[in-house]
Structure 1
Amino acid sequence: MLPLGLLNAAQGHPMLVELKNGETLNGHLVMCDTWMNLTLKEVVQTSPEGDKFVRLPEVYVKGNNIKYLRVPDEIIDQVSEQQKTQQGGFRGGRGGQSRGGDHGGRGGGGDRGRGRGGQRGRGRGRGQ
């Protein structure tokens, strides 16, 4: 699951954000962008020592200052279920056939990969 998909699903829900400087912010996620910048409302800011608390109506957090995010478990479950239903049975990835099938490739078939000359391995200079 991708972090931005999880954050988009968490909009409107409470979350905890720990910053690199040790402060924590508890509030409701209003929005996030592709750089993981967050806007929180109804925020309680806690000092790194845990002894000072400040209540703020709204806070903007730059994504590069975020150390840790805690999202409610029900949001994580909801997003993982959505991804399972969207994928269906498809695993994704790149592909095609494996090496050495009927379509050339290393050790493949046809007249490819047989060295020089077209006489099925007889090569040059044998006079046949």
Structure 2
Amino acid sequence: MLPLSLLKTAQGHPMLVELKNGETYNGHLVNCDTWMNIHLREVICTSKDGDKFWRMPECYIRGNTIKYLRVPDEVIDKVQEETNKTRSDRKPPGVGRGRGRGREEGGSGRPAKGIGRGQDDGSGKGMGSGRGRGGAGGKSGGKGGARGRG
């Protein structure tokens, strides 16, 4: 669960925001952006020591000053439901990703077209044993540098 998806879901719900300087803000989340800047309504601000309180109709909090966020449990449950639902809607991994490379047999039960890279067809021509340049294990003369062709 990503913090921004949690905050997007928490819009309209009450929350507590604690800043790095110790002040806390209790209010209803109106909006948040990708930098976690937060816009709250019906806010009660508490000083660092907890002895002073201010009531504000709304306030804007810059994201990099936030130390801690407290969100209701119902919002967390809602986000977890949404992520589980989107995961179950996906196809299982590996389904619909193409046929791949270098298979002996095609996906439909017929022989694959071509022999694939680095596979020996037994004819003694071509790349031979799939060892890169040259013959069966060493350099076999020639100019080389033709990337295994020749």
Flag the structure with more relative contact order, 1 or 2, with Cα contacts below 8 A and sequence separation at least 6. 1
Q: Paired residue for 2:15?
A: 15
| CA–CA distance in structure 2, aligned partners of residues 113 and 76 of structure 1 | 55
| CA–CA distance in structure 1, aligned partners of residues 118 and 84 of structure 2 | 38
Q: Paired residue for 1:37?
A: 37
- Decide whether aligned partners of structure 1 residues 62 and 91 sit closer, same or farther in structure 2, where only a CA change above 3 A counts: farther
Please state which structure has a larger fraction of its residues in strand: 1
Structure 1 residue 31, shift from structure 2 partner:
0.6
1:4–1:34 CA contact under 8 A, matched in 2:
yes
| CA–CA distance in structure 2, aligned partners of residues 90 and 18 of structure 1 | 41
Matched positions, count: 113
Larger CA Rg, structure 1 vs 2: 2
Structure 1 residue 120, shift from structure 2 partner:
3.9
Q: Paired residue for 1:80?
A: 80
- Decide whether aligned partners of structure 1 residues 6 and 47 sit closer, same or farther in structure 2, where only a CA change above 3 A counts: same
Among candidates 95, 105, 115, match of residue 132 of structure 2:
115
Structure 1 residue 114, shift from structure 2 partner:
1.2
Q: Paired residue for 1:6?
A: 6
| CA–CA distance in structure 2, aligned partners of residues 114 and 55 of structure 1 | 77
| CA–CA distance in structure 2, aligned partners of residues 13 and 52 of structure 1 | 24
Structure 1 residue 116, shift from structure 2 partner:
2.4
Question: What is the TM-score of this pair, normalised by structure 1?
Answer: 0.76
Q: Paired residue for 1:57?
A: 57
1:10-59 Cα offsets, whole Å, 9 max, x none, are 00000000001100001100111111111101111011111111111101
- Decide whether aligned partners of structure 1 residues 34 and 45 sit closer, same or farther in structure 2, where only a CA change above 3 A counts: same
Structure 1: unaligned runs, 5 residues or longer: none
- Percent identity of equivalent pairs: 60
1:115–1:123 CA contact under 8 A, matched in 2:
no
Structure 2: unaligned runs, 5 residues or longer: 104-116, 120-126, 142-150
